Structure 1
C-alpha cells in the first residue's frame, strides 16, 4: 500500500482492487480513536474520511478555497451506506469523484475499500458560496471543465 494520504495513481488503485471509474483515492489505516465501544469503526469516522479525501481531491484538481478571494464550499447534504464493519489497523483506500454538477453545486460520491471490497459508500452535495458562506456562486467554466474532464461529471439542470 502507498504512503498514507498520498493520492494513489490509477494503476495503484487497480492494484488495490478498485475498479473503474474511480481515479482518485488515498490510502490510510484504521486508528484506535476511530473505534466505537463495539470495537469497529465508528460511523462518524467515515464522514471524516470523506472530508479528508475531499480536501485532497480539491488540492489535486487545483481547486483552491484557502485564499481571501477564493470561494467557500459548503456541505449541503451527505449520505453514508455501510456494507461491512472495519477494525483496528485495517488498511483501506477512500475514493472520491464528482458525478454531476449544477449551476452552483456538484455531487461527489465516495467509496471506502479494503482488500478490494467496498466496505462503505457515500455521497455529498457541495455548494459554492462567497467567502461569508451566505450567497451561492456559480461554478466557473474552468471548474466545470475540470469536473467533466477528470471525473466524467455531467451537467444537470
Structure 2
C-alpha cells in the first residue's frame, strides 16, 4: 500500500466550503505516482510510460473540507493479464471521505495495443495486492 498526504488548497473549494469533487480524481492520480515511477523505469518522458488509463470511478462518501490534510491510500485490488485495478481511498480527520478505482492497462504505444504485464512489474504489483484497510 502506498500513502500520500495532501493539503487541500483554498481554491479547490466550492461555494459550500467543500473541496470540489473534481479535485479528488487529481489527488488519486497523484497517489498513483509510485506506480507511474515503477513503469517509467527511469524514463523522464511521460509519453513513453507504458500505461494508459482505461477507467476511473470515485464514490464520495463524506464531505471534504479545507483546513485539514487528506490521507490518500493506494493499493492494488486485482491483476489481470494486461491490466490491473488500483483501489484508492481518501481519509480526512480519521474518516473515509472518498473511495475509487482506476483500471490501468499495460500498453505498447508503437503497436497501439495492450500487452501482457512484464514479470518485473507484476512482482511489484503483487507486493501491493490486497484490500485497503477501512
Category of TM-score, reference length = shorter chain: 0.7 to 0.9
Q: Cα–Cα, structure 1 residues 89 and 126, in superposed 2: closer, same or farther, change >3 Å?
A: same
Specify the alignment match of 1:50 in structure 2.
28
TM-score by length of 2: 0.84
* Structure 2 Cα separation of the partners of residues 73 and 24 of structure 1: 18
TM-score by length of 1: 0.73
* Structure 1 Cα separation of the partners of residues 48 and 5 of structure 2: 28
Q: Which of residues 48, 52, 74 is equivalent to 2:52?
A: 74
Q: Unaligned stretches of 5+ in structure 1? A: 1-22
Is 1:129 equivalent to 2:107 in the alignment? yes
* Structure 2 Cα separation of the partners of residues 33 and 141 of structure 1: 42
* Structure 1 Cα separation of the partners of residues 20 and 31 of structure 2: 18
Specify the alignment match of 1:147 in structure 2.
125
Deviation at 1:70, TM superposition (A): 4.9
Deviations 1:21-59 (A, max 9, x none): xx3110111111211222211111000001111113433
Contact 2:54 2:105 in 1 (8 A): yes
Mapping of residues 1-157 of structure 1, within 5 Å: 23-59=1-37, 62-64=38-40, 66=43, 70-131=48-109, 134-148=112-126, 150-152=127-129
Contact 2:74 2:89 in 1 (8 A): yes
* Structure 2 Cα separation of the partners of residues 133 and 78 of structure 1: 24
Specify the alignment match of 1:12 in structure 2.
none
Q: Cα–Cα, structure 1 residues 57 and 117, in superposed 2: closer, same or farther, change >3 Å?
A: farther
Contact 1:76 1:124 in 2 (8 A): yes
SS, match of residue 18 in structure 2: coil
Specify the alignment match of 1:7 in structure 2.
none
Contact 2:39 2:49 in 1 (8 A): no
